[in-house]
Amino acid sequence: MTPQEFAATLDATNLKLDASDGEICALCDEVAHSGFASVCVYPTNVSICSDILYSSQARVCTVIGFPHGRSSLEAKREEIVRAQEHGANEVDIVMNYAALRASDKTIVTEEIVRLCEVARKSDLLTKIIVETCYLTNTQKLTALGICETAGADFIKTSTGFGSAGATIEDIKRFADHRKSVIKIKASGGIRTLSDALALLEAGAERLGVSAAGALLAEFQGEQFESKSTDTY
């Protein structure tokens, strides 16, 4: 994997509760320069990101029903529509995982199917956050099936606000049991290059990280040292 290929797996994320406009702008500049897949921010930051990145290949991603997933279907639908109007290209939608935990599969399925339909009509790529740390293994596979039924582009492990984030075991579980072309986004607690590479090896195609620049720099450093070793 080249540095460019690694960078293209990263959603550079700033969902800090105290994030400033200056920090968001700086992150956009970093995304445009480094070739990350997207910048992932709150809905109110979408406009400024789309303005900065309009001439870049980087995409603007935002979160829907975040982080609890308990917003009404209508509220989530409105967030998706407004996100597209303000320049978003991708939406990370938090599933109502509380309803899934309560065995209300029909309610959850209807919600995700309808929201994916709304997103597709707006040409938005969809990632469904299922918050794996609060689900049993059976519920995780149920969530995967719901995402596939809805035609979601990705299933995403975590918000980063739960009790735990992505695990290799969950990524492998999704990779081994998916029956469609759905992709996997790992997020939450990815702090080291070894973590990132292990999750990609397990089957993730995207990584949501708050330190994308540091991970890429470390990756490039390893590549440089490898070349140096080969030379001498």
Q: Residue 92 catalytic?
A: yes
- Cβ–Cβ < 8 Å for 144, 177: yes
Q: What domain range includes position 128?
A: 3-231
Nearest residue to 212 via CA among 58, 69, 47? 58
Amino acid letter, 121? K
**Options 76, 127, 140, 185, the catalytic residue:** 185
165: domain CATH number is 3.20.20.70
Note the pLDDT of residue 222: 55
Note the pLDDT of residue 224: 31
When computed from its CA atoms, the radius of gyration of the chain, rounded to whole angstroms, is 17
E-strand spans in the chain? 10-13, 38-41, 59-64, 90-94, 125-129, 154-156, 183-187, 206-209
**Options 11, 92, 153, 170, the catalytic residue:** 92
CA gap 66, 43 in Å, rounded: 10
- Cβ–Cβ < 8 Å for 39, 61: yes
Domain count, the chain: 1
Rounded to whole angstroms, what are the CA distances from 111 to 72, 116, 157, 172?
Answer: 9, 9, 18, 26
For 127, phi and psi rounded to 5 degrees? Answer: -125, 125
3-state secondary structure of 214: helix
Nearest residue to 128 via CA among 144, 141, 139, 114? 144
With tokens 């299933």, the residue in question is 155
**Options 127, 156, 170, 195, the catalytic residue:** 156
Note the pLDDT of residue 52: 97
Question: If the chain, 232 residues long, is cut into consecutive pieces of 10 residues, what is the mean pLDDT of each piece?
Answer: 97 97 97 97 98 95 98 98 98 98 97 98 98 98 98 98 97 98 98 97 98 95 41 27
Q: Please indicate, yes or no, whether the overall pTM of this predicted structure exceeds 0.85.
A: yes
